[in-house]
Structure 1
Amino acid sequence: MQGSIMRHVCIMAGTGAVGLMAVFGVDLLNYFYISHLNQPALTAAIAFATSLSYVQNSVALGLSIGLGAATGRLIGARKFTKARNQASAFLVLMVTITLTLGVTTALCAHWLLSLLGARGEALHQATSFLHVTSPALPLICLGMTLSSLLRAVGAAGRAMRVTLTGAAVTIILDPVLIFGLHLGLEGAAVSTVLARAAIVSSGFLNLRGYDLLAWPRRQLIMPAAQAVGRIALPAIATNLATPVGGLFVTRAMARFGLDAVSGLAVIDRMMPVAFSFVFALTGSVGPIISQNLGAEQHGRIKDAFLCALMLMGLCVGVAWVFFFTMQNLILHLFHVQGIGVMLVRMFCDWVVASYFFVGLLFVSNTAFNNLDCPLYSTGFNWGRATLGTIPFVMVGAHYGPAGVLTGQALGAVMSGSLAMMAALGVIRKLTSTDLQSSER
């Protein structure tokens, strides 16, 4: 709540980016190793399976965002005991929700994957993958939440170490399980679960000394659910929009064969790693905004938002240069074939620039979620997933797989621009209220 906003944002987002890079890098590593088996059905299978996993992870992320924002606001208001009790009680509810979701997804995996367009061996392998990973959803949710709590108390370095633990486990176990024990996609699934367990263990270890968790009390669970739920439920609804829109894109791309799905999968796994800094801004700027809101320092809220936009633009520019110059290496590393080659080249040449507008949407949603306007973020995200995706992709699909990517990019431009203008309006209203109060 004091000091340079830009420095605070850079430190929190920078360390958060390293951590998120590790989280998303797990999916990228899994895909990298599976692609070296040279079996298109396996690469398509992991693409289909993780499309559903992204929906699950969005629920987990929404819960962690809600708890992080609610806890950060209490810490900013110097209500440390209430923050500890609320966080501890909500963890019980969070584990229950995610366990139910994970088990249900595993039971319905074959049917859900069939709806996405998975067929034959790809359907069988994707179903087996989800049978292993889905019931472990509470682990990834706990990992996200513990990291979020560490960021809420300003322990950005410790939050980074939590997520790095999972990447280290994956780097070690993936080659052993996939190639050494010849388990293939099943080995990647087992490695994913073990990496999640390592992240949770690291999270609890790094939280020691902050006195932010206590033994949960039953009578506090419902009050915690109400307090956190006001932020978490809209955040879940908001975060669900992106993967749901992604499911529609995956289904549209499945019409063009396994190579097209595999090419889209390469893009979907490179993008989060390359844009980890942008995603980290949403997790890092949120506590900064909520703490300054709790301290009633509204001018610093606008500074934090503008700093986030500038840093996001810089990140997208650097990523564009990287993808444009490294596209041949990317095609070689992931053994991209057929139509997938054209899709990856198209992404590296210009589609990547559209993620500037995706970044506008994400940063704006963070402002909405932490400024008591969560329905705004829900509306804009679902607007992008529906009106900003479905009609554009449906029209684009008539022109082949390239049209699907183009439609997705155009929808992002529209949604991101509108969200940014709305976020600036919300912030301007806060600061104008301050000016009117001071004049009185």
Structure 2
Amino acid sequence: MSQSATAKFTTGSTMRHVVVMTLTGSLGLSFMFLVDFLALFWISQLGREDLIAALGFAATVQFFLISISVGMMIAAVALVSRALGQGNPDRARRIATSSMIYAVAMQGGIAVTVFVLRGHILAWSGAEGEVLDVAAQFLGISVMSLPLIALGMSAAAVLRAAGEAWRAMMVTTTGGLVALVVDPVLIIWLELGVPGAAMAIVISRLVMACAGLYWVAGKGLLAPPAPGDLRDTMAPFLGIALPAVATQVSTPFGNWVLIRAMAEHGDSAVAGLGVAARLQILGFGGIFALSGAIGGIIGQNHGAGLPGRVRQSYVDALKFCAIYTAIVWALMVALADPLARAFGLTGQAAEVLHWFAHVGAGSFMFTGALFVANAAFNNLGRPIWATVANWTRDGAMMAPLAFGLGAVYAAPGVIAGQAVANILAGTLAAWVGWRFVSGRLDRTARPA
């Protein structure tokens, strides 16, 4: 396999690569989160806000756990794309296999831990009474499928690193397509309610894992597992994966802070935030996909010693982010009231969703800038910088802003606090990221 056949991002328009990889990545990611969105929609048809609130608490935990897989996915993309950019496809295959094994094993251990502690975790999040019991029931069924989603997402990462955008997208899209069918069947027709929603997630993740293995193996991107490869890959994989996971879990931690702050204003406010959170993940799939989607572009060009293309990819990703956010924001403003009616939200719940659509959604332009900077840091040897950038927002800024503005403006103030944190952290990270790619790389580039 020649370098030209594998390092696809080192030639051609960087903007085209950014658009194709991000849109396909966002479609795949959005379809994966469509499973949760559809489950919440069908549960809302039962007419009980307490069930919506319960799934809101459970979704916060689920998002945290999926973010761990995203962190390991980023490590796989960085290592595989770098090896391909250096013209070493055999090494890339060995790294791909080892990375997938590590991801499945780590998520298996996490799944057992969360299963045992799920009641305590939900209580710490502010869930009480029937809402806590329902959320714990949901997690009890769904959480043990974490190794399946780790396998599917790792497979998609390997495909994305090799430039197989459409196949990477189809890995996660298949799960969402299955959910379109099984959600109403299990939740409504078989009258299984919340347990049915959890079962639908397990089924969709199983399909996603099988699809991932099929396409990765079919493209010849795996090598037979070998203890030596696992040993050799461990240090570089963990060197990126651990800070990348720490970076990725900051976002769900920030969401946990938001739901904890919102819980101060009652279950109705939490129900509104639950719908807003699903809408946020589904609508801004392109933003959440940015780090993984452009990581392969940056990694290949860095591996090939092309700093000018790295810089152009960074700028193009910021442009894409601004345009994408503007379009989605306008759609959310237009659809806020119809969505509130579709989910049966009234009073404070509807007000929270309205504030997110009109105020919070616009701040995701800056969230995208943060993720673009993270992609540069993760793929250019500074993963700790990405960790610091994310935790500045979600650890240092989110709590005082969400609780503080919430105390002044009630539930809508929590949404305003999230928006302010996004703007401040995103602006700072984008500036630092640009200084990094426009300065250091010229000094470390090797001849193309």
Per the shorter chain, which TM-score range?
over 0.9
Q: Give the TM-score of the pair, scaled to structure 1.
A: 0.97
- Structure 2 residue identity aligned to 1:405: I
1:168 aligns to 2:180 (yes or no)? no
Q: Give the TM-score of the pair, scaled to structure 2.
A: 0.95
Correspondence for 1:3 among 9, 12, 16: 12
Correspondence for 1:430 among 414, 420, 440: 440
| Counterpart-to-counterpart distance in 2, 1:343 and 1:50 | 17
1:372 aligns to 2:381 (yes or no)? yes
Correspondence for 1:181 among 190, 195, 211: 190
* Residues 325-359 of structure 1: per-residue CA shift (max 9 Å, x gap): 12121111111122111111112222211111111
Shift of 1:167: 0.7
Shift of 1:174: 0.4
Could you tell me whether the CA contact under 8 Å between 2:50 and 2:271 is conserved in 1?
no
Could you tell me whether the CA contact under 8 Å between 2:56 and 2:270 is conserved in 1?
yes
Equivalence map 1:413-428=2 (5 Å)? 413-428=423-438
| Counterpart-to-counterpart distance in 2, 1:182 and 1:113 | 25
Partner of 1:276: 285
Could you tell me whether the CA contact under 8 Å between 1:237 and 1:378 is conserved in 2?
yes
1:216 aligns to 2:225 (yes or no)? yes
Correspondence for 1:250 among 256, 259, 278: 259
* Residues 262-305 of structure 1: per-residue CA shift (max 9 Å, x gap): 10011100111111122232222100000000000000001001
Partner of 1:328: 337
Aligned partner of residue 386 in structure 1, secondary structure: helix
Correspondence for 1:401 among 375, 397, 411: 411
- Structure 2 residue identity aligned to 1:415: A
Shift of 1:40: 1.5
1:339 aligns to 2:344 (yes or no)? no
Partner of 1:235: 244
- Structure 2 residue identity aligned to 1:407: G
1:78 aligns to 2:87 (yes or no)? yes
Could you tell me whether the CA contact under 8 Å between 1:87 and 1:224 is conserved in 2?
no
| Counterpart-to-counterpart distance in 2, 1:411 and 1:162 | 33
Q: Taking every aligned residue pair, what percent have the same amino acid on both sides?
A: 35
Partner of 2:5: none
Could you tell me whether the CA contact under 8 Å between 1:89 and 1:218 is conserved in 2?
no
Question: Which runs of 5 or more structure 2 residues have no equivalent in the other structure?
Answer: 1-9
* Residues 208-246 of structure 1: per-residue CA shift (max 9 Å, x gap): 332211221123212211121111111001001111111
Equivalence map 1:281-292=2 (5 Å)? 281-292=290-301
Partner of 2:4: none
Between 1:43-52 and 1:424-433, the stretch displaced more is 424-433
Question: Which runs of 5 or more structure 1 residues have no equivalent in the other structure?
Answer: none
Could you tell me whether the CA contact under 8 Å between 1:11 and 1:156 is conserved in 2?
yes
1:114 aligns to 2:123 (yes or no)? yes
| Counterpart-to-counterpart distance in 1, 2:17 and 2:121 | 43
| Counterpart-to-counterpart distance in 2, 1:51 and 1:296 | 40
| Counterpart-to-counterpart distance in 2, 1:169 and 1:238 | 30
1:138 aligns to 2:153 (yes or no)? no
Shift of 1:434: 6.7
- Structure 2 residue identity aligned to 1:4: S
Aligned length: 437
| Counterpart-to-counterpart distance in 2, 1:89 and 1:315 | 35
1:356 aligns to 2:327 (yes or no)? no
CA spacing shift, 1:431–1:73, aligned 2, 3 Å: closer
Correspondence for 1:296 among 305, 317, 324: 305
Shift of 1:134: 1.0
| Counterpart-to-counterpart distance in 2, 1:13 and 1:273 | 14
Could you tell me whether the CA contact under 8 Å between 1:106 and 1:134 is conserved in 2?
yes
Partner of 2:6: none
| Counterpart-to-counterpart distance in 2, 1:153 and 1:434 | 24
Runs ≥4 residues deviating over 6 A: none
